[in-house]
Structure 1
Amino acid sequence: MFDISMAEWSQNAPARARLLLVGGLVALTGVLALVFSLREPGSIAIAEWWPAASAAVAAALCARKHERPYVAVGVVLLVFLGLLSGGRSLELSFLDSVGNAVEAWLVAAIIAARRQQLSLKTVADVGRLLVATVAGAAVAALCVATGAHLVGLDFAASFVPIAAAHALTIVCIVPLVIIPRLHFRVSTPPKTIAISGALVLSVLAAFYPGSPAPLTFLPVPILAWAALSQSMFTAVFQLIGVLGGISALTIFGGGPFAYVTGAVPGIAFLQLYSFTLAALALLIGAAAQERRVIERERLALASLVRGAFERGPNGFAVLQEAASNWFELIEINAAAPALVPDSFEHSAGQWRLQRASRLHEIISRLSAGTEQTFEWSAAPGAASTAQLTITVGHQPNGSRTVVLAITDLAPMREAQRKLEEQLARERAISNELRKLNQQKDDFVASVSHELRTPITSILGYAEDMRENHGVTADEESLEVIERNAMRLLAVVDDVLLISRRNSDTSEPPARRRIAVGRAIDQCVSDLGRFAASKSVEVHVKVAPDTYLYVPESDFARVLSNLVTNAIKFSVPGATVKITADTKGDEVMLEVEDSGRGISREDRDRIFDPFYRSPQAIRDGIPGTGLGLPISRDLVHSMGGSIGLKSVLGEGTCVEVRIPLVRPEATQ
């Protein structure tokens, strides 16, 4: 909406450009002080205007905050030299220059206080400018009046006209430095010329020498018109012209202020009148500018909304009841007639709601204050093509206002169709993957069975040879055959068990009442040779009458896996402890070894299928990484839980808890 003001441009300009501008304004301050003091050389006459004040303030506003002290020093120096050269006394010249410098700094500080932009855009900005002007002029007048008192003039009689001269100059000239130019044109050149001419005529009529009637009010409404109908920048130029004309005509004896006699001189009334005109013009101009900017923003937003309204894929219409059950279209976009065909007609460049249409019949039945949403189809029984939401309001005169929102269902239906196709493709892929997984399970089961048969034969013949042939030389070979066949059989059994449990068609094994102590004794007996080969002792402690209702083969497999691991990871000479007891409504089984223990990192993955710890691999301990995962799955299938505690270097204790009777939720 705005270009930046001269002060804002200077703040952001390169240092050299800012130095030239600020330095030029400071030099202009000294020149103006010299010129106005030379009007009456050697005298201490008080001028109606003091332009040096506005130049000093403009320099302070164009400088950055940290540069303003240097501006103040420059103002003091140049104004002092100008006044001294014009014949003013040393005391008056010094105090006048100090007053101008302090005034410039104070006005700039108040205007720029806690603000990022130095601009005059709003009524609040104008108010801040007026406050700063009055404060700065008072400080300057205090200094100058003190100097005047030192040279023999009355302090009070000097203070008021000096303050008025400074304030009037600042409020008229400084706005040109901080008013930003608008991006858009406010007035046309002919209108500006007409207003300027009217101002000239009003000033001449009110202040022309010899004018018989007191018409000082005459320029006021025309100046207000100028401020309302033109940009602030143009209005300020016209204001300066008006005040300059009034001052000139007054000097030549025109207007009422030229004939004032009494204690208060006519110049004081002229200054007050001029300051009031300036403040009024600035306030009216700022208010008009605020209104223009808000209106432009509102129109821009309305244009944006209207564009979206016109180009939107959904339909929208606003109707007003003109007569009983007769509605006129207030607004409608292009999509609405296409989404509800045969409801609107276009004639004479306008859209109308057809009285014979089904939509008109629906709207006519709705009362004020209701809202109805339904799906629309081109004909009864046909597929719906749009969703209509009709909101009915009421006007003070009793008529109804209808807002019609129409949503096109075609994109939604198309998206739904694509989603269904995607789901069908994913379902087909899932079925294909399920078939491939079943083929994999079938393959593993088939291969495992094929491997198991020769292994069983090897084991059978090895046992037969051991029983029927006492040849010592073959004893060691038979042990090697038997040990490796058992190892291979364990691997095949693990793979076979996983294949069976992953199969969708596998039936859960039957549950029966088993004695826990007997099952443990059988397991220890089966692993006796393995424990002896590792020089490991197995101690069993089972409470009497400890029973479980579980699949016997699954429980035996859990025991075998846990005890085998305990023996396998124990050092020679170690002891494996197996305990079982009834705790409340469950049986707790513990298998504890005094082996190497398990590190914290390995404990997090110890139940992952096929995982083997790096330490076990380095030590060459055989295994597939399936014992604990299989044991966990089997225990879970019994409705129980499994966990372990381990201290590195001290051993591991695996704890299994199985309910005495499996919970119904797991059956």
Structure 2
Amino acid sequence: MSHSNIADRVRALPGWRHPAALALTLLFSVVVGLASITWVSGPATLSWWWPAAGVGAAAALMSSSAQRPYVSAGYGAMMVAVSVIGERGMGIAVLGGLSAAIEVYVVATIATGRSAAPGIRNLKAAGRFMLGAVVGGSVGGLGVAAGVAVEGGSFLSTVGGIAASHTSAILVITPLVLITREKRVTPWRISLGLTLLTLATTAVAFFPGWRDPLGFLPVPVLMYAAFTQSMRVTYAQLVLTIAVVSGLTALGGGAFANSAGSIRVVSLLQLYAITLAVTVLFVAAAQAHQRALIDQREGTRRLLNEGFARARSGFAILSEEAGGALVVLEINPMATTVLASELTATAKSGLVVRPDGTLRPFARTLVPGRSDTTAWPVDEGDDALLRVTIEALDRSDYGTFYLLYVEDLSALREAEAVMAARLEKQRQIVDALRAMNQQKDDFVASVSHELRTPLTSISGYAEELADLVRTPVERDYVAVILRNSERLLELVSNVLAAARRQRGDAEAPAVPVVLAEVIEQCLLDVRYSVVSRELTTEVDCASSVRVMAYASDLGRVITNLLTNAVKFSPRGGAVTITARATEDAVIVTVQDEGPGIDPAERERLFEPFYRAPRTIHDGVAGTGLGLAITRDLLAGMKATISLDNAPARGTIAEVRFPLAPAPAEVPVGAR
């Protein structure tokens, strides 16, 4: 597995540490630049090698994209100072410094591309870096050569050598910060042996006094190192080889020191260094990338194998060999346990399927691409605890394979049993609650029926007494009896209606009902309350208006609405009942002159047993069942009810009934 490189670690430094590291790198470029200048003598003499270019490119690569222009400009300014100190002339100093800034910026920009993290991690990244080194070195060569021309020197004879000098410096020095640290690929003894072998072949090729062109001798050893060792070790061997070649050439060894051609010895060394660096770095980068991919693939394979082994379900992959034998390629512990009786171990093929078992004949009947399921090893059916799915795959290049998937159904069966037991318990509870609810409804209905008869008798005799009494005290007594008997009758009627709706009892099919007749009858039912409160009633309902309804339910609805209107109207007020037919409905309204309804409480008034706080505070009698029962009764007749405040004062209860057919369309006997 690869780790971060020096450039990554410097870029990740927090706070002031990052710019401080960049500043130190630039100062180091000044040191190596001055060292390169002092290595030669004479105000117009140029250095034969310029390592400052490699250090400056490293600084640019260690900076972020936002910092890069400033770092490049800082490097260029320092190179101007180095040239001035080295007395190289203002032309070389200015143009060389400007080209140096552009040079390192170009190298860093091309080398990073679109990647945020610089590095030589694969072949593509190595190619970008080398392209950046060549382009940047060429820019540096052009700038310095232009400065030489300004100072009176030759541009053409200078540009090639300077470009090679800068390019080789970038290729040799800058990778120090770009190569990632890998785990040890080969033992250190082998690395040491390869290093010594590289030095030996280099010494043979460039031994002082030898003139034979044997510079290719170290190349095979470096290539082998690039293929077998980590990129960092290979690069160290490359740098060491170039250093030894340079030293031996300086001592007069090898073909470069004794060349009679037109290319200078220094230029030959730089081209040799460039060639070795490009070749070795390309191969090493490709191998490093391949090793990273292999490590990643191996890690993924280990994770898959671990998950394969730990899976609660069973998996197995079988391969059909010559002669029809089924060899186990992969199998996890659960599948091994389930198929233990079907498998046997052989010395030649390892784990194979027994030829005398039941699995092999079953698999041989499969058609490639089709999955078959069987219960194993118990009998098939809803009680099977295991299910084995077998699929045949025909791969023309490799043969026939079988995929086995074993499902453990024991947990599913246990869950099904628990669910069935819970459902049965819930069913018993529901049946018990339903029976208790039915008993309650029957009890309420029975008691209400028994109470209705004596209450009707009390109310009737009280009305008779009201006509016979003479004194005010007696009239008050009779009024109390009538008022409370009617309250009890209303309560009993509401309870009976609620019980009937809960049981779903239907009195008779809905029929066209003359609305005026029902309203008249309901007014008679509340006549005593109307008279005692000195109310006036107004009815606006044509005799031809009919609605589709249940007769008894319709009477209960109108009576409940009238009772509420009378109850909340002030003494001496008026109650108005209107009915009008539209194209598709009959609208009935009951309006009183009471205090009205708070809009926030309109819907809550239809909840069973809910009573408005102001009603309770004013001591208005009631149970909170009337409107709830009214809405239920109307729903059974496909009618709706709504409450609203009257424009002036009071409350309007509006009921919308479905329109009944015309009298001519009513079947004979429907009334």
When normalised by structure 1's length, the TM-score is 0.88
- Alpha-carbon distance, 1:233 to partner: 1.7
Aligned equivalent of 1:602: 601
**Are 1:339 and 1:408, in contact at CA under 8 Å, matched by a contact in 2?**
no
How do 1:501-512 and structure 2 match up within 5 A? Answer: 501-503=501-503, 506=505, 508=507
How do 1:262-277 and structure 2 match up within 5 A? Answer: 263-277=262-276
- Alpha-carbon distance, 1:447 to partner: 6.1
Q: 1:63 to 1:512 in 2, by over 3 A?
A: closer
User: Secondary structure at 1:44's aligned position in 2?
Assistant: coil
- Alpha-carbon distance, 1:518 to partner: 0.8
How do 1:613-652 and structure 2 match up within 5 A? Answer: 613-614=612-613, 616-617=615-616, 621-644=620-643, 646=645, 651-652=651-652
**After superposition, what is the alpha-carbon deviation per residue over 1:603-654, rounded to whole angstroms, capped at 9, x for unaligned?**
4434322333455456554433322221111112223333455567664341
How do 1:396-475 and structure 2 match up within 5 A? Answer: 396=396, 399-438=399-438, 440-441=440-441, 444-445=444-445, 448=448, 455-456=455-456, 458-475=458-475
Q: 1:354 to 1:69 in 2, by over 3 A?
A: closer
Hey, what's the Cα distance between the residues in 2 that align with 1:191 and 1:562? 106
Q: Report the residue type matching 2:542 in the other structure.
A: A
**After superposition, what is the alpha-carbon deviation per residue over 1:296-318, rounded to whole angstroms, capped at 9, x for unaligned?**
11111111111121121222221
Hey, what's the Cα distance between the residues in 2 that align with 1:121 and 1:455? 101
Hey, what's the Cα distance between the residues in 1 that align with 2:539 and 2:444? 37
Aligned equivalent of 1:368: 368
User: Secondary structure at 2:203's aligned position in 1?
Assistant: helix
Q: 1:112 to 1:569 in 2, by over 3 A?
A: farther
- Alpha-carbon distance, 1:560 to partner: 0.9
Indicate the larger mover: 61-70 or 294-303: 61-70
Q: 1:399 to 1:130 in 2, by over 3 A?
A: closer
Q: 1:81 to 1:377 in 2, by over 3 A?
A: closer
- Alpha-carbon distance, 1:519 to partner: 0.8
Hey, what's the Cα distance between the residues in 1 that align with 2:77 and 2:466? 125
**Are 2:546 and 2:659, in contact at CA under 8 Å, matched by a contact in 1?**
no
Aligned equivalent of 1:339: 338
Hey, what's the Cα distance between the residues in 1 that align with 2:107 and 2:424? 76
- Alpha-carbon distance, 1:568 to partner: 4.0
Hey, what's the Cα distance between the residues in 2 that align with 1:535 and 1:118? 100
How do 1:551-630 and structure 2 match up within 5 A? Answer: 551-570=550-569, 575-581=574-580, 587-593=586-592, 597-614=596-613, 616-617=615-616, 621-630=620-629
How do 1:343-354 and structure 2 match up within 5 A? Answer: 343-346=342-345, 350-354=350-354
Hey, what's the Cα distance between the residues in 2 that align with 1:304 and 1:647? 77
Hey, what's the Cα distance between the residues in 2 that align with 1:442 and 1:118? 87
Hey, what's the Cα distance between the residues in 2 that align with 1:160 and 1:384? 84
**After superposition, what is the alpha-carbon deviation per residue over 1:37-63, rounded to whole angstroms, capped at 9, x for unaligned?**
111132433434311122222233334
Indicate the larger mover: 29-38 or 123-132: 123-132
User: Secondary structure at 2:344's aligned position in 1?
Assistant: strand
**Are 1:376 and 1:387, in contact at CA under 8 Å, matched by a contact in 2?**
yes
Hey, what's the Cα distance between the residues in 1 that align with 2:642 and 2:381? 64
Aligned equivalent of 1:174: 174
**Are 1:54 and 1:169, in contact at CA under 8 Å, matched by a contact in 2?**
yes
User: Secondary structure at 1:497's aligned position in 2?
Assistant: helix
**Are 2:318 and 2:326, in contact at CA under 8 Å, matched by a contact in 1?**
yes
Hey, what's the Cα distance between the residues in 2 that align with 1:164 and 1:533? 123
Unmatched 5+ stretches in structure 2:
667-671
Q: 1:321 to 1:456 in 2, by over 3 A?
A: same
- Alpha-carbon distance, 1:479 to partner: 1.6
Hey, what's the Cα distance between the residues in 2 that align with 1:397 and 1:288? 30
User: Secondary structure at 2:238's aligned position in 1?
Assistant: helix
- Alpha-carbon distance, 1:559 to partner: 0.8
Aligned equivalent of 1:41: 41
Please state if 1:499 is matched with 2:466.
Answer: no
Please state if 1:478 is matched with 2:478.
Answer: yes
**Are 1:599 and 1:648, in contact at CA under 8 Å, matched by a contact in 2?**
no
- Alpha-carbon distance, 1:412 to partner: 1.4
Indicate the larger mover: 27-36 or 344-353: 344-353
Please state if 1:258 is matched with 2:266.
Answer: no
**Are 1:5 and 1:181, in contact at CA under 8 Å, matched by a contact in 2?**
yes
* RMSD between superposed Cα atoms in Å: 3.4
Q: 1:508 to 1:229 in 2, by over 3 A?
A: farther
- Alpha-carbon distance, 1:340 to partner: 4.1
Aligned equivalent of 2:326: 327
Q: Report the residue type matching 2:232 in the other structure.
A: F
User: Secondary structure at 1:407's aligned position in 2?
Assistant: strand
- Alpha-carbon distance, 1:586 to partner: 5.7
Q: Report the residue type matching 1:145 in the other structure.
A: A
User: Secondary structure at 2:3's aligned position in 1?
Assistant: coil
- Alpha-carbon distance, 1:173 to partner: 1.4
Q: Report the residue type matching 2:122 in the other structure.
A: T
Unmatched 5+ stretches in structure 1:
663-667
- Alpha-carbon distance, 1:331 to partner: 1.7
Aligned equivalent of 1:665: none
**Are 1:515 and 1:546, in contact at CA under 8 Å, matched by a contact in 2?**
yes
Please state if 1:125 is matched with 2:133.
Answer: no
**Are 1:642 and 1:657, in contact at CA under 8 Å, matched by a contact in 2?**
no
**After superposition, what is the alpha-carbon deviation per residue over 1:569-595, rounded to whole angstroms, capped at 9, x for unaligned?**
456666544333555676543434565
